[in-house]
Structure 1
Amino acid sequence: MSQDKFKLVECPRDAMQGLHDFVPTELKSEYLNLLLQVGFDTLDFGSFVSPKAIPQMADTEKVLASLDLSKTSTKLLAIVANLRGVEQAVYHKEISYLGFPFSISETFQQRNTNSSIEQSLITVEKMLDLCAKNNKKAVVYLSMGFGNPYGDEWNYEIVEKWAAILVSKGVEILSLADTVGISTPAKIKAILPPLISKFNHTEIGVHLHSTPTERFEKIEAAYDSGVKRIDSALKGFGGCPMAADDLTGNIATEEVISYLNSKDEELNLNMDNWNEAMRLSGKIFG
């Protein structure tokens, strides 16, 4: 799927989900409503998962009810981890995308969704069916796409194998997810161009995690690889609680914006609203 316009996916859900102190629903809503006015393609705003697993996202339905979608073209994406979550999320007409973390590491799939890779494939098939019936699109994250810290087998062939299987099931958007920050510019440049070339009717993006010092190189590698979809979070907040390095967070949106501006990509963002969101983020993330 060759697309000309760059798709920026802002991920406040990923940024907030690991915070220890619960962020009040009103503050979450205020922050998300500001981000909705910036002009991102997609806002990864919340998740329909067990409140025991991710307490911070227990109020996703309340937050959704308080979002003002009347003056934004930004689409909403919610993360789901099982069929129950899918069934909850598809019920909401305001949500355009359901995101599912499909790990190519068996260990992480069990840890993250309490199911095996094979069981998760069945969930994806059911999710695709429910999305089709409810006018939604599925985004499948190839989690641990650049390797894993568990010693599970990983190589490019495994990445390509699962990408091929998911595409054959009808997945139209795949996002290669780093999860623990072990991607490198060399890996990004080795993996992504062949995937983009081979699955040229599929939208392929990246959801990278990184330490601050390596962010720029990873953004550049993704761009040079032909990626037109990048997930990021304001100031690089968030990341995977399983990551060993506390500095490993999301790619910082402001650095993605700065890089793409240097490449004359047309982003059409409202930077006044962005700066306002930057200021408000201090109340949430300290």
Structure 2
Amino acid sequence: MSNEEFKLVECPRDAMQGLHDFIPTQLKSEYLNLLLQVGFHTLDFGSFVSPRAIPQMADTAEVLANLDLGNTTTKLLAIVANLRGVEDAVKHQEIDYLGFPFSISETFQQRNTNSSIAESLNTVEEMLLLCDQNNKKAVVYLSMGFGNPYGDEWNYEIIEKWADILVSKGVAILSLSDTVGVSTPEKISSILPKMIDKFNKTEIGVHLHSAPNQRFEKIEAAYNSGVKRIDSALKGFGGCPMAADDLTGNIATEDVIAYLNSRGENLEINMDKWKEAVVLSEKIFG
């Protein structure tokens, strides 16, 4: 397995977005600037969404202006949920990726983006066009990809159907997303190899949520499935405020780093900067 291919995506946006108390812009920026020094492939740093929906991310443009991008190779990803968000995000040349949560659960698509799956497909098409015109790449998350708590139908065929449609529209990066922690090593091991095999020209990643005691087995299942792109958040903070009240956290980045190191992956992570970020995170997450 070649080392340089592995893409670690650190997700402070996902970690912070559900926090009740507003994190001062300066503190957010300081935290992100430290994470930019660690050596991740991508930083999911903020979102251009309605401040009524996610008040914590209302200052994303301001935070972006405070980021020191002069001495980092880390790329920036911002989440968008509708066309207005896409239009706002593409104005910023510092942003490399736009991420869109495309739920394969109709109930969650309505809850999360206030639109149907069909309407969201139109948004993705517009996003792809605007990304092309503005030198950005689109990342589409197959949200509720491992099942959903609403009783909406879920099976592998549904995942594949929507992946097929999205790839045919021109999506080059798909990330299978858990959102509520219903993924299991068995589901990961059965779904991901089939996805990677079928969509072999598409970058397939995972964005998993997990209870702490299940993290390692999920990371291992994803790695053994051949995934080369993993989303995680420092200490496993966060979860989706649109999905559940009792948040199941993200996969913890330190667990991903430890696991990948144990498998001989050369991650080129600056552990000194990482430790500084861990210390500073206590000011944000308590």
Alignment of 1:73-222 (within 5 A): 73-222=73-222
Quote how far apart the aligned CAs of 1:241 are.
2.3
Q: Is the 8 A contact 1:212 1:247 kept in 2?
A: no
Q: Which residue of 2 aligns with 1:258?
A: 258
Aligned residues: 285
In the alignment, the residues of structure 2 paired with residue 150 and residue 266 of structure 1 have an alpha-carbon distance, to the nearest angstrom, of: 40
| Secondary structure of the structure 2 residue equivalent to 1:250 | coil
In the alignment, the residues of structure 2 paired with residue 245 and residue 53 of structure 1 have an alpha-carbon distance, to the nearest angstrom, of: 15
Quote how far apart the aligned CAs of 1:214 are.
0.4
| Misfit runs of 4+, over 3 Å | 242-247
CA spacing shift, 1:264–1:283, aligned 2, 3 Å:
same
Q: Which residue of 2 aligns with 1:66?
A: 66
In the alignment, the residues of structure 1 paired with residue 141 and residue 3 of structure 2 have an alpha-carbon distance, to the nearest angstrom, of: 19
Query: Pairwise CA RMSD of aligned residues?
Result: 1.2
Write the deviation string for residues 143-162 of structure 1: whole angstroms up to 9, x where unpaired: 00000000000000000000
Alignment of 1:5-20 (within 5 A): 5-20=5-20
In the alignment, the residues of structure 2 paired with residue 169 and residue 259 of structure 1 have an alpha-carbon distance, to the nearest angstrom, of: 35
| Secondary structure of the structure 1 residue equivalent to 2:96 | strand
Q: Is the 8 A contact 1:211 1:247 kept in 2?
A: no
Percent identity over paired residues: 82
| Secondary structure of the structure 1 residue equivalent to 2:241 | coil
Write the deviation string for residues 235-285 of structure 1: whole angstroms up to 9, x where unpaired: 000012255573610000000000000000010010000000000000000
Quote how far apart the aligned CAs of 1:165 are.
0.5
* Gap runs ≥5 in structure 2: none
Q: Is the 8 A contact 1:184 1:218 kept in 2?
A: yes
Q: TM-score, normalised by structure 1?
A: 0.98
In the alignment, the residues of structure 1 paired with residue 3 and residue 140 of structure 2 have an alpha-carbon distance, to the nearest angstrom, of: 18
* Gap runs ≥5 in structure 1: none
In the alignment, the residues of structure 1 paired with residue 63 and residue 26 of structure 2 have an alpha-carbon distance, to the nearest angstrom, of: 8
Equivalent residue letter for 1:226: G
Q: Is the 8 A contact 2:143 2:177 kept in 1?
A: yes
| Secondary structure of the structure 2 residue equivalent to 1:164 | helix
Write the deviation string for residues 144-188 of structure 1: whole angstroms up to 9, x where unpaired: 000000000000000000001000000000000000000000000
In the alignment, the residues of structure 1 paired with residue 216 and residue 156 of structure 2 have an alpha-carbon distance, to the nearest angstrom, of: 23
In the alignment, the residues of structure 1 paired with residue 217 and residue 77 of structure 2 have an alpha-carbon distance, to the nearest angstrom, of: 27
| Secondary structure of the structure 2 residue equivalent to 1:249 | coil
